[in-house]
Amino acid sequence: MKNVILILCFITTYTCTSAQKINISYEIKNAKAIVPYLLLIDQQRSVFIPKAKCMQNTEDIIPIISSEVIVEKTTNVKIFDKVGKIGVYFMPKVQKLDWEIVDEIKEENGFYLKKALTTFQGKQWVAWFIEEIMISEGPFIFKGLPGLIYSVNSENDEANKIIFQLTEIIEKQELCGLDFSNYKELTEEKYKSTIKSSAEVDSKLLESLMKLDISELSGGDFESLNDKILKSNLLRDLLIQFS
């Protein structure tokens, strides 16, 4: 049995006023896990991708499931997932986010931030954006504000809250290479059943390997399967919600 880890990317066509390539680091947090992500931006597109995926040079000890979501100008989305060695994708319907900009400003880490509200999947989300950085982008599906999104979080109780938080902005000359040419299209229903099967495999794998001394297999430097699965599922629930 193989572990399954979600790797999520968003690619969107957009117009950028700068000719430079920009990497924006975000952390995605909930009560159980923190996952570093990158929003990679150039003149043609932006890519929202786990930092580990972008920096990966060698095969992981445990096979990874990768998922890349392409957001086009029409808001049509393709979700790409890689289960084991098999690449698949489907096209969900994504609602357009209607933002309400609130008359509230705060300063944080040297940025003057403006507040905005939106509703996604029946839940209210609060965003803070940097109007001075005129890039209408942000993490996950969140974009469309008159400035770069600094942070956005769901207004759930603390146990279920999800937070996207900007941590760094840097200039960089290269974007991660992505190749979806060998991915097979699935229906939404088939994709969901595949994800469900993967989750069941994860559960059985974790149950079996908890009986082993994992540290001996990795020389003491091994992220637990439980942590990997938690990080995998951090965005998976939201993926399924809008699929």
Q: Are residues 72 and 185 in the same domain?
A: yes
Q: Indicate the number of domains in the chain.
A: 2
State the Cα angle at 201 between 196 and 207, rounded to 5°: 130
Placement of tokens 């974790």 in the chain: 206
Spatial separation of the C-alpha atoms in residues 209 and 9, rounded to whole Å: 29
End-to-end CA separation in angstroms for the chain: 27
Helix (H) or strand (E) holding 236: helix 225-242
Domain assignment of residue 216, yes or no: yes
Question: Of 135, 163, 191, at which residue does a domain stop?
Answer: 163
Output the pLDDT for position 166: 97
Q: Are residues 16 and 87 in the same domain?
A: yes
Q: Are residues 86 and 201 in the same domain?
A: yes
Helix (H) or strand (E) holding 230: helix 225-242
Q: Are residues 84 and 109 in the same domain?
A: no
Output the pLDDT for position 6: 39
Q: Are residues 51 and 147 in the same domain?
A: no
Q: Are residues 187 and 88 in the same domain?
A: yes
Three-class secondary structure of residue 167 per DSSP: strand
Residue-level pLDDT, tens digit, the chain, 243 residues: 333 333 344 333 333 444 467 889 999 988 778 888 888 887 777 778 877 777 654 343 333 334 444 444 345 567 777 776 778 888 776 667 899 999 999 999 999 999 999 998 778 999 999 999 999 999 988 989 999 999 999 987 777 788 999 999 887 656 666 677 888 898 878 887 777 776 666 555 555 555 565 555 444 444 555 666 666 666 666 666 655
Which of 187, 230, 191, 175 is closest to 82 using CA atoms?
A: 191
Output the pLDDT for position 106: 97
Question: Of 163, 191, 210, at which residue does a domain stop?
Answer: 163
Question: Of 138, 163, 188, at which residue does a domain stop?
Answer: 163
The domain containing residue 201 runs over which residues?
10-93+174-242
Q: Are residues 16 and 112 in the same domain?
A: no
Tokens of 105: 């400003």
Domain assignment of residue 2, yes or no: no
Three-class secondary structure of residue 162 per DSSP: coil
Domain assignment of residue 169, yes or no: no
For the question of whether the overall pTM of this predicted structure is more than 0.75, the answer is no
Q: Are residues 81 and 180 in the same domain?
A: yes
Q: Are residues 33 and 76 in the same domain?
A: yes
Instruction: Give the phi and the psi of residue 226 in degrees, each rounded to 5.
Output: -60, -45
Domain assignment of residue 131, yes or no: yes
Q: Are residues 87 and 115 in the same domain?
A: no
Spatial separation of the C-alpha atoms in residues 85 and 212, rounded to whole Å: 26
Which of 95, 135, 130, 136 is closest to 109 using CA atoms?
A: 130
Domain assignment of residue 70, yes or no: yes
Instruction: Give the phi and the psi of residue 67 in degrees, each rounded to 5.
Output: -135, 125
